[in-house]
Amino acid sequence: MCHLTGKTEPVAPSEDECKAIVGEPAPDFELESDLGGKVKLSDLKGKKVVLYFYPKDNTSGCTMQAVNFQAALDKFEKAGYVVIGVSRDSIKSHTNFRNKQGLKFPLLSDADSEVSKLYGVLKLKSMYGRKYLGIVRSTFVIDENGILAAEFRDVKAKTSVADLEKALGIS
């Protein structure tokens, strides 16, 4: 399902753009990683993936969420999950964020928003009267066969990781 909930109207992706449907193959992509090189989702077949989209590096909510993922990383890895963060920030910004917060999982740069569109996480937002297109904090769980197993859209930065742990039975 590609519609989003919230107080502002979503930017409705066309049927050609939004491909994230629970129970179907997860939309494949290849993005640059702050760890160097590129990450291609289909190369991770055989592994379970937690793919989380967040609005912006070094902001309070995104920092809280990333630090919470880092604190729970051992639990996710022991349960067989690879954790990957995605935002529209540059690799340089991601590297700064990673180093500042001590993150050990990859952050991918979706600078052109193509993957965000595929997963239907872009929404028209408003700040100080200015409208802009931004990422809605969302998490997707992809099974070892590359199937989108679950989606959690418009999640809260503070509780999203604990809520995900509970949903996956790894808390």
User: Is residue 80 within 8 Å of 47, Cβ to Cβ?
Assistant: yes
Which tokens belong to 33? 């990683």
Which tokens belong to 110? 């979706």
**For this structure, is 18 an active site residue?**
no
From the list 39, 41, 50, 62, the catalytic residue is 62
Beta-bridged to residue 40, according to DSSP, are 30
Closest CA to 54 of 132, 159, 136: 136
Q: Helices marked H in the chain — which ranges? A: 60-78, 91-101, 114-118, 160-168
* Catalytic positions, written as ranges: 62
